[in-house]
Amino acid sequence: MYYTDKTTIFLDGKWMKATDASTDLYSQTLHYGSGVFEGIRSYATEDGAMVFKAKEHFERLLYSAEKMHIDLSYSVDELVTLTYELLERNNLQNAYIRPLVYLGQNMSLQPTEEVHVLLCAWNWERYLGDKQLNLMTSSFQRPNPKSCFVEAKVTGHYTNSILATTEAKSKGYDEALLLDMNGFVAEGPGANFFYEKDDKLFTAPLGNILAGITRQTIIELAQELGIEVEETFFTPEDVYQADGAFFTGTAAEVAGVESLDDRTFNLKWEDTLGAMLSTAYLNRVQKKEYKNFELV
Ligand code: PMP
């Protein structure tokens, strides 16, 4: 599903077939989850493939590596250039790009000098699909920011996400909504969360969440459109009263939410600020907005 025998990847300075690549079973990342990664999308535009906010994604990758004491010997610009080459070599335009930085052999709990850099890409539908989602408040909390660097995208953090999504699906919901250690709504397992009340948007402040690049884009678009966004702490009970809600993430884009814990929101998705911002987001990533600005 992610690769075929024709797929080309970038691994440690070389271009090779995904099917020819191998890894070390004694990798510290495999045993302890000490790698860092990114999730990026490129879109077909009139000017060819455009990697959306490429710089921001690779700046976050470098930040994540630094926090995990991983010495990454690539600059943001080099990684951006390699990403465009990756797309070209695989003949991809609308694609999901996955940079992964993983470590060599080391069974100790100390930094590892051997660092591997993988860039791969594939076609990926919107991660949470196109239909509105029914969420449950997860019994799992997001990691305590004193237990890790929550703003770093570290492979091991995703065990928390896997537990939360698996719990939600096993109970018949589409996805989980996780609280922070103080009982306030934080984010989804792989996306940030906004809700709408009385023509205003609310989202969790930074501190207990991944600082999503899509979240930031939505805040910028909302400002441009004159929509007020408040970054504040709120509870599931506040969300029960919402007019609408949505997730944001590179893979999910803007994904509408229908209910939380079986409480359905007041407005139909089409009538929400989320639906309007979803259109604005898709226009921006495809550079269509100045031609096809269909926000009203
Ligand atoms: N929160 C978590 C836990 C995530 O994994 C993601 C996906 N990277 C996001 C939020 C959204 O971040 P972004 O918009 O940068 O993709």
pLDDT digits (tens, 9 = 90+) for 28-59: 999 999 999 999 999 999 999 999 999 999 99
For residue 288, name the pLDDT band (cuts at 50, 70, 90): confident
69 CB-near residues (< 8 Å, 6+ apart): 111
pTM: 0.96
Task: List domains and CATH numbers for the chain.
Answer: 8-122 (3.30.470.10), 133-286 (3.20.10.10)
Does residue 218 carry a pLDDT above 80?
Answer: yes
**Which of ligand 1's atoms lies nearest the C-alpha of 157?**
3
**Which of ligand 1's atoms lies nearest the C-alpha of 213?**
15
Does residue 296 carry a pLDDT above 50?
Answer: no
pLDDT digits (tens, 9 = 90+) for 52-87: 999 999 999 999 999 999 999 999 999 999 999 999
For residue 290, name the pLDDT band (cuts at 50, 70, 90): low
Catalytic residues: 153
CA of 7 to the centre of ligand 1 (A): 26
What is the predicted pLDDT for the residue at 291? 53
Q: Where are the alpha helices (DSSP H) in the chain?
A: 28-32, 54-67, 76-89, 158-170, 213-224, 236-240, 273-285
Amino acid of residue 236: P
3 state DSSP class of 179: strand
Percent of the chain surpassing pLDDT 90: 96
For residue 295, name the pLDDT band (cuts at 50, 70, 90): very low
3 state DSSP class of 20: helix
Q: For residue 241, what are the CA distances in angstroms to 229, 263, 276?
A: 17, 8, 20
192, 194, 221, 253, best to mutate for ligand 1 pocket (most atoms within 8 Å of CB): 192
The residue-averaged pLDDT of 206-216 equals 98
What is the predicted pLDDT for the residue at 9? 98
What is the predicted pLDDT for the residue at 12? 97
214, 277, 278, best to mutate for ligand 1 pocket (most atoms within 8 Å of CB): 214
> What average pLDDT does the chain have?
96
pLDDT digits (tens, 9 = 90+) for 234-266: 999 999 999 999 999 999 999 999 999 999 999
